[in-house]
């Protein structure tokens, strides 16, 4: 067994979250090391135990004792895949980060091709596309197709498989992204918003040999809500008034026209508005109030946005390179 070269930092970090995957751990580790040993080194393995209740913690601890390249992070409770990946990314020190699922549905033999694509295309993120899926059509494939279509339309990125956990990142890209909720499937959209170049590579989709999936139809509505959130953040994060202001002005204009017409009828013809146009009068008043409220929300959003950027001072741009006469700064070194 190869030993970790402690005198030089790892170039590759393999991040894998586990939750009750005791049957898969040793086989996945065997396949993984057979691919990376002697080819993709120096490497570190960061295995995140999402508070498993089976023998997963013990098996991971044994691997850490046997292989100094292995780091095991055990979370205090079951936070979910997004939090587990975030913990792994935060502790990864390699220039290139590889994320995989821990249930053997991802074949480590696809890693060389994905890494080659990362280097030859100059991409910042390579996504494994499960082109031929082996899941149940009604329970997994059909909802996945609908969700992927919606995410592609909402984000403007023509990808086929946003939900694939098999991804390869340049470290500076993923470490700039804050992950929470169930946003691991939206990493491509968030990375693209920050200017990352994305490539997609067909990979093998192997039928899960042990256990059962932790996801089902119950996640569909959560995904839909997250898609709407991502859409709003990608387009209006720095200009919320553009979103709320359009609807607010529309309501204010429509309500104002209705009330103006009713006022003219009252002044010119003495029309009894509450008797003859009661519902229309109420509608006009509600549209005006609706417009004022939306404009107020948009202005509050603008104030919160300015407060956030003034307090944290995150750059609203990403520099790829700075060329000078004697040197240049690679991507990721500058905000």
* DSSP-assigned letter for residue 206: P
Encode 142-159 in three state secondary structure.
HHHHHHHHHHHHHHCCCC
| Stated pTM of the model | 0.73
Distances (CA, A) of 158 to 124, 132, 287, 306: 16, 18, 38, 32
CA 263 to chain centre: 52
DSSP secondary structure letters along 75-113: -SS---HHHHHHHHHHH--SSEEEE--SSS-S-GGGHHH
pLDDT (tens, 9 = 90+) of the chain, 335 residues, equals: 444 445 678 999 999 999 999 999 999 999 999 999 989 999 999 999 998 999 999 999 999 999 999 999 999 888 888 889 989 999 999 999 999 999 888 899 999 999 999 999 999 999 998 887 766 666 667 777 877 788 778 777 888 888 788 999 999 999 888 887 677 878 888 888 888 899 999 988 777 666 565 555 556 667 677 777 777 777 777 788 888 888 899 999 999 999 999 999 888 888 888 878 888 989 999 999 999 999 999 888 888 877 766 676 665 555 555 555 554 455 444 44
Q: What is the structure's pLDDT at 328? A: 45
Residue 115 confidence (pLDDT): 95
C-beta of residue 98 within 8 angstroms of C-beta of residue 12: yes
> Measured in whole angstroms, how far is the alpha carbon of residue 27 from the centre of its chain?
28
Nearest one of 288, 172, 181, 269 to 225, comparing CA atoms: 181
Residue recorded with tokens 């067909």 = 202
For 103, the token pair is: 């249930």
């Amino acid at each position: 067994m190869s030993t970790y070269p402690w005198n030089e930092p790892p170039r590759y970090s393999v991040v894998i979250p586990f939750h009750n995957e005791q049957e898969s751990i040793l086989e996945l580790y065997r396949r993984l090391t057979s691919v990376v040993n002697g080819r993709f080194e120096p490497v570190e393995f960061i295995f995140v135990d999402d508070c498993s209740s089976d023998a997963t913690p013990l098996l991971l601890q044994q691997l850490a004792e046997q292989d100094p390249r292995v780091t095991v992070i055990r979370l205090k409770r079951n936070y979910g895949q997004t939090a587990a990946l975030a913990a792994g990314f935060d502790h990864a020190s390699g220039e290139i980060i590889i994320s995989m699922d821990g249930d053997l549905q991802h074949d480590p033999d696809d890693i060389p091709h994905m890494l080659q694509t990362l280097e030859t295309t100059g991409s910042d993120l390579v996504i494994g596309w499960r082109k031929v899926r082996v899941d149940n059509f009604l329970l997994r494939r059909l909802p996945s197709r609908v969700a992927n279509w919606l995410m592609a339309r909402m984000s403007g990125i023509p990808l086929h498989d946003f939900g694939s956990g098999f991804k390869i990142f340049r470290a500076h890209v993923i470490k700039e992204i804050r992950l929470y909720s169930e946003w691991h499937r939206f990493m491509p959209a968030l990375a693209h918003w920050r200017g990352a170049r994305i490539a997609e590579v067909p990979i093998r989709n192997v039928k899960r040999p042990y256990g059962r999936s932790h996801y089902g139809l119950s996640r569909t509505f959560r995904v839909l809500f997250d898609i709407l959130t991502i859409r709003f953040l990608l387009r209006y994060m720095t200009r919320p008034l553009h979103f709320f202001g359009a609807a607010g002005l529309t309501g204010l204009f429509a309500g104002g026209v209705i009330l103006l017409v009713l006022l003219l009828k009252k002044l010119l013809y003495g029309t009894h508005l509450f008797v003859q146009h009661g519902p229309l009068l109420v509608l006009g008043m509600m549209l005006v109030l609706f417009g004022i409220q939306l404009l107020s929300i948009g202005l509050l959003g603008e104030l919160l946005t300015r407060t956030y950027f003034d307090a944290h001072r995150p750059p609203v741009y990403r520099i790829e390179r700075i060329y000078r006469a004697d040197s240049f700064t690679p991507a990721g070194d500058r905000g």
